[in-house]
Amino acid sequence: MVLKIFRRIVGSKSEDLAYKMTDNSPIGPSTQDLQNLTRMSYKSKDCQKIFNVIHERIASRGKNWREKSKALTILQYFIIHGSPESLQLMQSNKSLVTPMLDYKYLDSNNHDQGRSVREKAKNLLDVLDSPERIEETKKNYKLQKENVRKSIGNGRPSTQSRNTLELLRESLFDDPDPTDLNGAFESSTTQTAPKAPGVDSEQPRMVGAMLSAIEEEH
């Protein structure tokens, strides 16, 4: 399935939301926005428009690495929750993601901010190459979400707990994922992401999953 290029129409909710979710701000897309965009992907014309935005963000040049990382996060979410058409578009347009395997961007502190982009791109391509891995990724995601719900219990987290989790997310992520997507993808591809200096690689994924579970209760 080939992407059809639609001219942007002012007021197109799917495009506006996709642009909002893939901006260059340090805050990642919210669970609610991901869910809303996923619902829109079940309408063919909206699905095409969403992928046009994702294509634009991934193909853009320059230092806006967050735009690329957020676009790849949406693709990860679509593999698990998206419409059949969105999955077909990803599988037939993998060449859009392939260049991100070599993406690099060093910030003013000489930190390689392109690492998250490369990791997400590799995980996506590994999963898209195998229908079995797609199903395994979905199962891993559901299992991790269920484990988080069990760990939280039946009671609602206190305001203090919510504030603590939010602070943890802000301190551990510059471009946070609101869902435990990377954990599910890494489990299915047996890829182990390198640890950032001074940060436990399991802790960010745990915080992301707990935040997702909390947000879904509202």
Say which CATH number the domain at 63 has.
1.25.40.90
Lowest mean pLDDT among 38-52, 138-152, 182-196: 182-196
**Which pair of tokens denotes residue 59?**
């193909």
Q: Examine residue 84 and state whether it is found in any structural domain, yes or no.
A: yes
Instruction: Specify the amino acid at residue 137.
Output: T
pTM: 0.69
Q: Cα separation of 135 and 129, whole Å?
A: 12
- What's the structural domain count of the chain? 1
Backbone φ/ψ region at 141: left (φ over 0), alpha (ψ -120 to 50), beta = alpha
CA distances from 202 to 64, 106, 180, 193 (A): 26, 24, 11, 10
Considering Cα of 43, then 44, then 48, then 54, what sign does the dihedral take? positive
Query: Is 178 among the domain residues?
Result: yes
- What's the pLDDT at 7? 46
Q: Which domain does 115 fall in, by range? A: 13-216
Question: Strand (E) positions, 115-180?
Answer: none
Helix/strand/coil for 2: coil
pLDDT given at position 152: 64
Q: Identify whether 1 is part of a domain.
A: no
List the Cα angle 186/97/83 in 5-degree steps: 75
Assess if residue 141 is contained within a domain: yes
Selection from 148, 176, 85, 89 nearest residue 124 by Cα: 89
pLDDT of the residue at 200? 38
Question: Cα(171)–Cα(80) distance, rounded to whole angstroms?
Answer: 27
Counting residues of the chain whose pLDDT is more than 90, the rounded percentage is 50
- Residue 72 belongs to a domain: yes
Say if 43 falls within a structural domain.
yes
Structure tokens at 170: 């802000």
The CA-based dihedral angle spanning residues 73, 210, 172, 205, taken in that order and rounded to the nearest 10 degrees: -60
Express each pLDDT in 149-201 by its tens digit.
777 665 555 555 455 444 434 333 334 444 456 666 665 655 443 443 333 33
